[in-house]
Structure 1
Amino acid sequence: MVSEKCNPFEEGQLDLMLINPSLDFKQDRKIIDSLRVNQEIPRQMAAQIGIGYLLAAAKKENLKAEFIDMVAYETSVNSLLDYIDEKKPSVVGLSAFTVQVKSAGNIADKIKDRFPEIKIGLGGPHATAMPKETLDEFKGFDFVVCGEGEKIIPQLLNSKLSEIKGVITRGKKDLSYDRIQNLDELAFPAWEKFDLSRYPGADPHGTNQELLLSTSRGCANNCVFCARPYGKNRIYRSNESILGELERNIKDFGCEAVNFCDETFTANIEYSSELFNEFIKRGLNKKIRWSCETRVDTATPELFKLMKTAGCYYIFFGFESGDDDMLKKAGKGFNVERIKKSIGWAKDADIVCAGSFILGLPGETEETARKSIELAKELDIYSTTFPIAVPFPGTVMRKMAERGQSGLKILTNNWDDYGKQYPGVMESNTLSINRLRELQNIAYTYNPKKEFPTSLLTKLGQ
């Protein structure tokens, strides 16, 4: 179902064009499809909420802006260049995770060669972690944006780039950027600027329309493998703001499922409980079902039951290891016993559970890796993934590997290889990259994909 309110494309010349980059959309789509647990159930194909916020910020300032998702919209590089020629944007902004950044840089080069007058920038976690290095490596970018972009978007057309805080240009020494302190001031994501029919969803929601929703930004945890692009100080939206956005999404876009995309959704149990009780009070639990990601140490049996009543059907947990010492080294702050208890509580509440164990974290051995594989089998949840540890820019783990701590060694800085499943870019003196791949294969063989338990989906309209 596509909402009649959706109108992704503007008439005439653009002020701003935002792009999700792809050099080969067919191959990138195959990669996304390969992540599905069941080929009939979509996964990791959601409209990007960060772009939605940027488009809303542009709309608020009466700027003409569009988003081209080269994967979802099946757009070739040549087609993109022709469209840029037609729309003549003043600024082009690309957003990229580390694994996408070379594609983004390549596309920026092609745009700059053909349209040298257009200002081209890059945003996202890679640019935030390595602003100067990114500009040195990719000459097609005129600037990078560090941190959040909503307050920066309006300034890009009317200010000198080097004078905008959070915008980094070549030779600029001040790399600091501000965080947005009042998230309620932000306009709701502009889903009307997407072709939502192209996005089947992030999680196995089983409805006509899933949308992402964020209730906070920032993460106070200390996991060594995470860059925390929004910083450690967690900033929350008010319940009224969240509920207002949710009700708008239902009314305007036919939303029937929500993926709460916070880094740890239930980090504050009191705050979360108040929100879930409001879902029930307003009858929203009869209109939508929802999923989230959280930690095993930020929930209780009572909270899981409340979540289920409030419409929760699916939770993804980051377990990361089946060994207590490994969990401590990774900065997780909980132990194996807590993992087992929390999964038991969630199952008792009839919530579908999924999770991940990272292979190759600092201190990993054959024995600890096999503990993770065995624990995954014991937990017996719907879906378990086994990514190989990636030393992403901005993480403690990357700094450890650069110093050779825990015997870690970075094998390549070819960003194309910085996906979480294959080929792996870091090994240690206890586990070679070849052995890590073998253990990953053993883990998936020992923990095969399962059918989705549709009987546990929360019922709508009842």
Structure 2
Amino acid sequence: MKKTLFLQAPSFDGFDGGAGSRYQAKREIKSFWYPTWLAQPAALVPGSRVLDAPADGLTIAQTLDIAKDYELVIIHTSTPSFPSDARFAELVKERNPAVMIGMVGAKVMVDPGPSLQASAAIDFVAREEFDYTCRDVAEGQSLSDIAGISWKDADGKVKHNAPRPMIENMDELPFVSPVYKRDLNIKNYFIGYLNYPYVSLYTGRGCRSRCSFCLWPQTVGGHRYRIRSAESVIEEVKWIKENMPEVKEIMFDDDTFTDFRPRAEEIARGLGKLGVTWSCNAKANVPYSTLKIMKDNGLRLLLVGYESGDDQILLNIKKGLRTDIARRFAEDCRKLGIMIHGTFILGLPGETQETIAKSIEFAKEINPHTIQVSLAAPYPGTRLYDQAIENEWIPPNKTINLVSESGVQLAALNYPHLSSEEMFHGVERFYRSFYFRPSKIWEIVREMMKSWDMTKRRLREGVEFFRFLRAHGAEQA
């Protein structure tokens, strides 16, 4: 077994990997998600280590000092971070020419050949789900025999092996939480809307929804929701409770945890017996009866992708949701006392100044406790990217800059009726309109009055939020 390092390479100050470190960018409030997609293959490789350099605050030099002692380094990358990740791979190779370096993630899955050719330091990239692929490489199997990789032979020629089948029995995968405890400092992981400290994990992979902008269901995860058994999920939460007693909340990071409602209810009842507080992603169409079962068994918050307040845009992106259903869902959550962190996206197909204003008013009407506003990102591998090419919403044959040099997300799309700059500055307008209301300010003040810890937390977030607005306003799209 090769001595293996699973690495999240040094990145932007204020890096937020988001959803298992799948989308690298800098957010309005500094936050870190667990590198779940690295921890899962690490659980299959004895003696391996997960190193999350951004969360640990490690410099390039410090990370290189650690990486130089490994025989195999596997780096998680994405479209925004790939250039800096490839450069870091070169620095690792300079220190230790014998090291084997691989990359994983949706970026290298959809673009394996050019990714390999981008740097002589990259020996292979993994396509499809890469858990067992990483294990096979670490075991020393010949690259030519490993399904699901593209690699370079001794002459530098790119070879593409047969695809690796999707994992069907998700219960076969070992728990990720022991890897978190072994390799990570959980105090580094902070999300503004989750109780601190928290732990996030997946109870399944894939998403049955067909949202045109969403990257992983269209690439690595797929559109079939492949699930762990309720017993497996409850057993891992029990392990966390017994071995990581400082954890105050469990976040289930499945794209849509509530897709299979009987299973969600079964898991909820098991969590209720354990007495844990938990949150999850949800589509804004969960019926009251399921919401009540989840709330009665420890559910605190739902992370909900509303995306837009305009029904035509929701239809354009194949969201499978209408605003009237989302309104009813929000009202049900309010009645039950379930908090919502709502996410919105500006710049989706059909966006205009009028629909931006409509989304802002919709957000104020349904009034999630907190929100996140992003810009539509045409990631290669998505239907949105194909549409952008077909309609020339992005410049042909040019590099797409999804983030600035400092890591702030940029508006990559340009419509004839709505410029990238208008979309970019719509983000701060959305935030100001939503948060700078007397009712919302009073809501936050009431929350702060409950505890000194919450007061300190919200004050720190407030400082970061105002810095974000100031920096965002100064950025050039």
Confirm or deny that 1:113 pairs with 2:94: yes
Q: Distance in 1 between matches of 2:335 and 2:406?
A: 34
Structure 2 length-normalised TM: 0.83
Instruction: Determine which of 240, 255, 265 is the counterpart of 1:263.
Output: 255
Instruction: Determine which of 142, 160, 167 is the counterpart of 2:149.
Output: 167
Q: Distance in 2 between matches of 1:81 and 1:362?
A: 42
CA contact (8 A) 1:15 1:90 kept: yes
Task: List aligned pairs for 1:123-162, cutoff 5 A.
Answer: 123-157=104-138, 158-162=140-144
Shift of 1:373: 1.2
Shift of 1:195: 3.0
Residues 52-82 of structure 1 show CA distances to partners (whole Å, capped at 9, x for unaligned) of 21221112xxxx2112211122221112222
Task: List aligned pairs for 1:34-433, cutoff 5 A.
Answer: 35-36=28-29, 44-59=31-46, 64-85=47-68, 88-157=69-138, 158-170=140-152, 171-174=158-161, 176-189=163-176, 190-202=179-191, 204-207=193-196, 209-227=197-215, 228=217, 229-254=220-245, 255-280=247-272, 283-284=273-274, 286=275, 288-297=276-285, 299-404=286-391, 412-414=399-401, 416-417=403-404, 422-433=409-420
Distance 1:383 1:179, change over 3 A: same
SS of residue in 1 equivalent to 2:231: helix
- Counterpart residue type for residue 223 of structure 1: C
Q: Distance in 1 between matches of 2:52 and 2:445?
A: 29
1:8: which partner in 2? Answer: none
SS of residue in 1 equivalent to 2:280: strand
Shift of 1:214: 1.2
CA contact (8 A) 1:112 1:140 kept: yes
Distance 1:29 1:308, change over 3 A: closer
Task: Kindly tell me the number of residue pairs found equivalent between the two proteins.
Answer: 425
SS of residue in 1 equivalent to 2:141: coil
Shift of 1:177: 2.5
SS of residue in 2 equivalent to 1:144: strand
- Counterpart residue type for residue 76 of structure 1: T
CA contact (8 A) 1:105 1:141 kept: yes
Shift of 1:355: 1.0
Structure 1's unaligned 5+ residue stretches are: 1-12, 37-42, 458-462
Q: Distance in 2 between matches of 1:454 and 1:16?
A: 45
Confirm or deny that 1:439 pairs with 2:439: no
Q: Distance in 2 between matches of 1:418 and 1:425?
A: 14
Identify the range of structure 1 (381-390 vs 172-181) with the bigger mean alpha-carbon deviation. Answer: 172-181
SS of residue in 1 equivalent to 2:114: helix
Shift of 1:295: 0.6
Q: Distance in 2 between matches of 1:152 and 1:218?
A: 18
Q: Distance in 1 between matches of 2:109 and 2:144?
A: 16
Shift of 1:191: 2.1
CA contact (8 A) 1:266 1:272 kept: yes
Q: Distance in 2 between matches of 1:441 and 1:387?
A: 10
CA contact (8 A) 2:402 2:412 kept: no
Residues 378-406 of structure 1 show CA distances to partners (whole Å, capped at 9, x for unaligned) of 1122112221111011100001111116x
- Counterpart residue type for residue 127 of structure 1: V
Distance 1:336 1:360, change over 3 A: same
Residues 256-286 of structure 1 show CA distances to partners (whole Å, capped at 9, x for unaligned) of 3101000001011122112212223xx22x2
Distance 1:385 1:203, change over 3 A: closer
- Please provide the CA RMSD for this pair: 2.7
Identity %: 24
Higher relative contact order (CA 8 A, sep 6+): 1
Residues 71-123 of structure 1 show CA distances to partners (whole Å, capped at 9, x for unaligned) of 122221112222233xx211101112322222211100111222221110111
Residues 14-33 of structure 1 show CA distances to partners (whole Å, capped at 9, x for unaligned) of 71011111155x45489988
Structure 1 length-normalised TM: 0.85
Residues 345-399 of structure 1 show CA distances to partners (whole Å, capped at 9, x for unaligned) of 1111101111122111112122222211111111122112221111011100001
Shift of 1:202: 3.4
2:468: which partner in 1? Answer: none
Shift of 1:453: 6.7
